[in-house]
Chains A and B, each alone.
Chain A
Amino acid sequence: MKRKLAAIAAAAIFAVSAGSANAARDYVSVVGSSTVYPFATVVAEQFGKTTKFKTPKIESTGSGGGMKLFCSGIGIQHPDMTNSSRRIKKSEFDQCQANGVQDVVEVKIGYDGIVLANSKKTAPFQLTRKDIFLALAKDVPDPSGAEKLIPNPYKTWHDVNPSLPDTKIEVLGPPPTSGTRDAFVELAMEGGGKNFPWIKAMKKVDKKRYKAICHTVREDGAYIEAGENDNLIVQKLEANPNAVGIFGFSFLDQNSDFIQGSFIDGVEPTFEEIADGKYPVSRPLYFYVKKSHVDIIPGMEGFLEEFSSEKAWGEEGYLTDRGLIPMPDAERKQMHDDVKQLRPLEM
């Protein structure tokens, strides 16, 4: 009896809500990267508080998860936009097409630098990408010069490069599920691996092996997976002056009183250097928009306008206060036009 009642009640709730809630959605629904989340949310809040529209809902699902949701179909039950800390993949784009998400607009919003930082109690590191590769790869080229790999023998930074201090290699970084980790291995480690001509040559012959060499991080305790929470890494750096942490530039920006970024290839991770493109470990950030939703979802047009406005992503915009590295003027203008015209992506 009671069970039956409960079942009926549940069914009724389903029917009512499925009918009413999805009949119309009056807020923009955004999913995607946790790296873009701190920026997208600021825009959303600004937009919600200064217009009559509701504040867009921003989910932090990760780039891959966001793409999957985004590409699952057209209609108000699917998100309108997805944030991504990497470009959309061909496979994801095809998935979108297959599910009827025809016109996808790609918008680059700026750059994010990935920094290796340590406590201000010690001197900043002067690293090269080759140093990073040698210090963190699981297998490294034989130091004797032979073209073969040996398990990473380096214990201290000094072992890697005599100009570096004689401290133990202790790197706190994100786990493999994180977009920051993806970008780090691709930009820093692969960039370092390429310094060995025979590894570089392998890219054409055996791409899989090339990637395995460059992207596999050592597991003998020198690299410590510290979880997705960058704040946690920052706190641990404070406590352990010998450790080096890997995280997004905005965390360095917010905690510059305790920690300092390591120079990479002679470039310090500062706002200006990343914006100029001189700092080697930086990546573009994107969001993707369903063109067909723009006319249906109230406030979507305005939200896109807010996002691509100079006061948001411009050099002096409020997103740069949050650590977003703006694009060069010309690129920004180009992107703004793309957003205005909703120019679909082709792949």
Chain B
Amino acid sequence: MMEQTEEIRGEKSETRDWEVVSREDRRTVGIPFVDNPRMTCRNIDVYYGDEQAIQDVSVDIGNNEVLSMIGPSGCGKSTFLRCLNRMNDTIDICRITGEICLDGMDIYGGEIDVVPLRAQIGMVFQKPNPFPKSIYDNVAYGPKIHGLAANKTDLDEIVETSLKKAGLWKEIKDRMDQPGTGLSGGQQQRLCIARAIAVSPEVILMDEPCSALDPIATAHVEDLISELRKQYSIVIVTHSMQQAARVSQRTAYFHLGDLIEVGETERVFTNPRHQLTEDYITGRFG
């Protein structure tokens, strides 16, 4: 791990031919916008009560791309992610200003119903949170409430493909009626991923999906992400820069509520243009 970071830094230091933005400047560097975006976020501010957690963040999420968000703990990654499917609505003291659009539609607009929106923009949480129900019911719940399956065979098929995609099928296919809470931490997280993709969302938000997984399961999930990218847009929060490098096309670096730098993953890791980004990926911060 350390070695790889060293390598990136070594490469960059030789070839630097631009001026690095100073630590005090909190404007976003890099190109936050893409052509033909799936989601657009403009001037997002988020407050928890009087505390501001996100300041003036603007960024796009493209079609069929994985955007990874990195940054030190407490910098607002989860907060920002949760704005994207209006999960923050459930927190009373949380207030959001700015504009977030999905396919050009303002998701905070008056005519938008959060219930179908959240089916469209699925989410996998930082901590695995399966329902205290059977494995089958965990995955089948979403399709059931949204009426995605015409009959039982349909539903069985959805459950099976979702579990297969999440790489869990082989392990649990014989004990579908056992409680989901009885699985190991990593299995639970994959179950949650299966649950999220069972409703075929168009955008998937993942908050550190691999933090509880072993390297094998992590590899599995990463494969899944690459697979899912063919159909969906994915936003992933991660603390592992290797993971960000492996799965994402673009990377956004957050620092104390500011979006500091965003750009092609490779470029951000090899040639960070902001001093803070550089500090972070070289391990001088956090």
Complex contact flag A–B (Cβ < 8 Å): no
